[in-house]
């Protein structure tokens, strides 16, 4: 079997700590830090990546 070059991860809100999104990225790339919508705060906040278990 071929090894997967992408890893699956979670995006966690930096202000509330809630896991709001799931995505994947290249294993060779930089860590993700995106502006995404937080439903709890009802505005866009910075979300950082956290590895899935």
Q: Please, what are the domains in the chain?
A: 6-34+42-51 (2.20.28.120)
Is the model's pLDDT at 11 over the cut of 80? yes
* Alpha-carbon gap, residue 49 to 14, rounded angstroms: 10
In contact, 10 and 36? CB cutoff 8 Å: no
Choice between 2 and 30, residue whose per-residue pLDDT is larger: 30
How sure is the predictor about 1, in pLDDT bands with cuts at 50, 70 and 90?
low
* Alpha-carbon gap, residue 7 to 37, rounded angstroms: 22
**pTM for the whole thing?**
0.84
Structure tokens at 44: 């866009």
Cα distances (angstroms) measured from residue 26 to each of 5, 23, 41, 45, 49: 6, 11, 30, 23, 13
pLDDT, averaged across the chain:
92
End-to-end CA distance of the chain: 22
Is the model's pLDDT at 53 over the cut of 80? no
């Amino acid at each position: 079997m071929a090894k997967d070059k992408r890893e699956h991860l979670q995006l966690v809100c930096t202000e509330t700590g809630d896991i709001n999104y799931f995505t994947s990225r290249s294993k060779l790339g930089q860590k993700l830090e995106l502006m995404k919508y937080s439903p709890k705060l009802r505005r866009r906040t910075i979300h950082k990546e956290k590895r899935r278990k």
